[in-house]
């Protein structure tokens, strides 16, 4: 049923993946799908803010994020699952949607960290409404 699954996580926030990663792994195992694991590094949002950081800071941050993502997948994704590591840079929901399009995935899995059961968080809401693929939003 699924050939490519995109799992969006925030490595620094365990609540973003403790519930969603096991589900994505289970689905990838069940269907023999490739698991595309993605983290997003937000932009500064303003060139004024960017001026306070040393030159090359964003590049270093992206490289560090890629290394941390590889370490995370070794610890949390079984060896038998085909996987791809993706580090996005920009607005979280836009990068998740871009990653989904670029990988031609058929399912996006992400966690909604909001505790209010009546509403989704900003990024989960945007992804759910704008994605062309099925979206599995895991509440924790």
Residue 114 has a pLDDT of 65
Q: So what's the pLDDT on residue 60? A: 86
pTM: 0.89
Q: How many domains does the chain have?
A: 1
Instruction: Give 10-residue mean pLDDT values along the chain (140 residues).
Output: 96 91 98 98 65 71 93 97 96 96 98 67 90 93
Burial of 31: CB neighbours in 10 Å, binned 0-12, 13-18, 19+: middle
Per-residue pLDDT reduced to its tens digit, 77-118: 999 999 999 999 999 999 999 999 999 999 999 998 765 665
CATH number, residue 126: 3.40.50.620
Residue-number span of the structural domain to which 98 is assigned: 4-139
What's the CA gap between 134 and 124, in Å, rounded? 13
């Amino acid at each position: 049923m699924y050939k490519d699954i995109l799992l969006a996580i925030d490595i620094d926030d365990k609540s973003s993946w403790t519930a969603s990663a096991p589900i994505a792994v289970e689905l990838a195992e069940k269907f023999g799908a490739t698991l595309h694991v993605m983290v997003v590094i937000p932009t500064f949002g303003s060139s004024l803010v960017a001026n306070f950081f040393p030159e090359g800071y964003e590049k270093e941050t992206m490289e560090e994020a890629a290394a941390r993502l590889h370490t995370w997948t070794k610890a949390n994704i079984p060896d038998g699952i085909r996987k791809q590591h993706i580090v996005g840079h920009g607005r979280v929901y836009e990068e998740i949607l871009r990653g989904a399009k670029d990988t031609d995935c058929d399912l996006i899995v992400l966690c909604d960290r909001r505790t209010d059961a009546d509403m989704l968080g900003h990024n989960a809401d945007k992804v759910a409404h704008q994605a062309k693929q099925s979206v599995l939003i895991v509440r924790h």
